[in-house]
Amino acid sequence: MTVHGEREIVPAVRKAEAAKALKAYTAATNKANEALDPALDKDVETGALAAIDQAGLKARGKVSPEGNPKYTPLELTDVRYTIPKLAGWPRFFLADADSNRDDNRWLLVFTRAGVDQKWKAAYLSVVTEEEMPEFATDKDGYAEPVPDGDASGLAVAPDQLSRTYADFLDVSTDAGQGAGDAKAQDAPFAPGPATTQLRQQRKSQLRTPTYWTQYDDQPGRAPQYPPIALRTADGGALAFFATHHTQKRTVAQGSRIGRIGDPYIRALMKGEARRTLTLIKMSESAVRIPAKDSGSERIEFLHRLEGLTEARGG
C-alpha cells in the first residue's frame, strides 16, 4: 500500500461506513455458505480471499448441490475498527471481532479501489486475543499505514514480503542437503508450520520411489493482491499478503495416478489425471514484521489460510 504524500491524508473510512461494510459481508457470506453458491458473495470479497472462497464454494456446491441447510450463520460481535489515515486510493481498514465459531479474534481487511467502488473483504485471518498487536495511533486514534520500500523501516518491506516468502519456500535445490536446512536457518521467518515445517514436508515429497513433485511459488502482486500493513506500537507492523502456489505430482513410468480420493479436487479438476496431477492454490497470511533495527527477531506467522483454486490432470 504505497502512500502518496502529495495528496490530502484523510481517514480511510467513517466508522459507521465500516460497520455497514462488515454487516454486508456477514450477511452475504452466510447466504453463500448456506446455498454453496459463489455468486452470492462475489460482491463482498476481493483479492486472495475471493479467489479462495469462490473456488471453495464452487467445489462444495458440486459435491453437495442441495446446499448446506445445517450451516450455522456466522455472527461477529465486540467489533473493533482500526482505521488508518491515507492519501488517495486504494484505501483499507481492519475490523477485528469475536465470532460464534471459536474464542479467537477474526480479522477482516476491507479494501476499496475508488469512490464509486464497494468496500470488499480482501483478507481474513484468525488470531488469539494475545496475538493481537497494539497499533501505533495518532492523537485522534487513527492508525499508521506502512509505506513500501526502505521507507517502511521494517526487516522486510510490505511490497517485498510475498516475493521473500515465495523464494523461501523453494526447495528445488535442497534435495541433497540431508537434515540440514541452511536456507531456513538464514531466512527472515521464524520456525513454524507455515515456514520450516512446510519446507520439510515439501522436501520429503520431492522424490519418492513412486512419484516426484515439482513446486512453483509466485508472489501475489498489486493491484489484485496488494499487501496491507499497519504500524504497531513497537515500530514493527502487522501485515497481510497473498502468495500463489503450484504443485505438480508425476508418477513413475508405467504407473497411473488413479482415482482422486478428494471429492473437492475432483470438483475442480480439468482433464484426466493419468500420470500427472497439478494443484493450483492460493494462500493469504497475517504476519508480524519486526522493525529493521530490532535485532535478530524474525517475521512471525499469526495465521495462514490456503485454498485450492484449480486442479489439472495430465
Dump pLDDT digits (tens) for 113-170: 998 899 999 999 999 999 999 999 999 999 999 999 999 999 999 999 999 999 999 9
Global pTM reads: 0.93
Distance (Å, whole) CA 70 – CA 279:
29
Q: Which residues of the chain have pLDDT under 70?
A: 1-7, 174-180, 296
The three grid cell numbers given for residue 30, joined into one nine-digit string = 452466510
pLDDT of res. 4: 43
Closest CA to 175 of 150, 147, 149, 212: 212
Distance (Å, whole) CA 220 – CA 238:
17
pLDDT of res. 180: 57
The 3-state secondary structure of the chain, one letter per residue:
CCCCCCCCEEECCCHHHHHHHHHHHHHHHHHHHHHCCHHHCCCCECHHHHHHHHHHHHHHHHHCCCCCCCCCCCCEEEEEEECEEEECCCEEEEEEEEECCCCCEEEEEEEECCCCCCCEEEEEEEECHHHCCCECECCCCCECECCCHHHHCECCCHHHHHHHHHHHHCCCCCCCCCCCCHHHHHCCECCCCCCHHHHHHHHHHCECCCEEEEEEEEECCCCCCCCEEEEECCCCEEEEEEEEEEEEEEECCCCCCCCCCCHHHHHCEECCCCCEEEEEEEEEEEEEECECCCCCCCEEEEEEEEEEEEEEEC
By the 8 A CB rule, do 47 and 242 touch? yes
pLDDT of res. 38: 97
pLDDT of res. 7: 67
